[in-house]
Amino acid sequence: MSASRPRRALRWLAYGFAVLLGVPLLALGGVVAALNLPAGRAAVETLAPRLSGGMVVLHGLAGRFPDALRIREIRVADAQGAWLTIDDLRLDWSPRRLLAGALRIDLLRAGRVTLARLPVAAPATPAAGKPGSGFTLPLPVDLRHLRVATLDLGADVAGVTARLSLDGEARLASLTEGEATLTLHRLDAAGRYRVVGRLDAATLQAAVNLAEPAGGLLASLAHLPALGPLAVEAALAGPRGAAKLH
C-alpha cells in the first residue's frame, strides 16, 4: 500500500483536473451565448450533479464562456461524500487552437485544492491488457501555466496532513512524448520538490531536486518516520529502457 498510495493520490488529483478541463469542452457543445447569461450558468450548475450522478457539484460559475472560465467551487464526491474540493478556479484557454488539433491552456489556476482522502471506488476503465486499452490523450496539450496556491492533502493521502503550493507546465504530444515541469513547496513546514522531465520516442531525460527536514513528506509517504533530512539532486538520461541515473 505504501508504494501505491502516492501513485493513487497523483492519479486522482489528475482525475480532478480532468473534470475541470471537461467543463469548457461541454460548454462548446451548448449555446455559448446562453452560458454567458445568469440563467444559462444557473442551468449548468443545476445539470452538473444530474449528469454526473451526483459526483460533481459546481457553484459560482462566472467569467466568459468558453475561453475565460471562472468557478467559485467544485466538489467531487463518492458514496461517502466529497473527497476533492477545488476553490476559485480560473481557466484561460484557446478554443480556436482546437481547430488546429491541439488543446492550449494559457492558465489553469486554483486558489485552493483539497484532496481530503482517496475515493472509495475508481471510475470504470477499459480492461488492462486488451489492444487499445488504457487512457490516451485525444489531442496534444500545451499547458502554459498550472498554479495551485494552496494544496491541502489529507492524512489518508500523504500519511500526514500537508499543505503545499504547486506550479507547473507541460507540453505533451502524447502520454509517451512531451516535456513537463512540476514544483512544489511545503507551506506548513520546510520542504521543496522539483521535477523536470522530457520524453520522446528514443530518449528519456529527467531531473529531480528536493530538500526536506527529518520526518518530511517523503518520509511519511515511504513509511520511514526515522528517515533523516533529505537533500537530493538526481538526473536520469539516455535511451528509453537504458537510461542512466546520476
pLDDT of 28-70, one tens digit each?
A: 554 566 778 888 889 889 988 998 889 999 999 999 888 999 9
CA pair distance 223, 211, nearest whole angstrom: 17
Chain-centre distance of CA 104, in angstroms?
16
Helix (H) or strand (E) holding 220: helix 217-221
Q: Give which of 9, 163, 166 is closest to 1, Cα–Cα.
A: 9
Question: Other CB atoms closer than 10 Å to residue 162's CB: what's the count?
Answer: 23
C-alpha cell at position 185: 513547496
Q: What is the DSSP string of 5-28?
A: HHHHHHHHHHHHHHHHHHHHHHHH
- Decide if 155 contacts 161 (C-beta within 8 A): yes
Q: Give which of 53, 51, 69, 50 is closest to 61, Cα–Cα.
A: 69
pLDDT (average), residues 10-16:
59
Give per-residue pLDDT as tens, 143-201: 999 999 999 999 988 888 999 999 999 999 988 899 999 999 999 999 999 999 999 98
Q: pTM of the predicted model, to two decimals?
A: 0.81
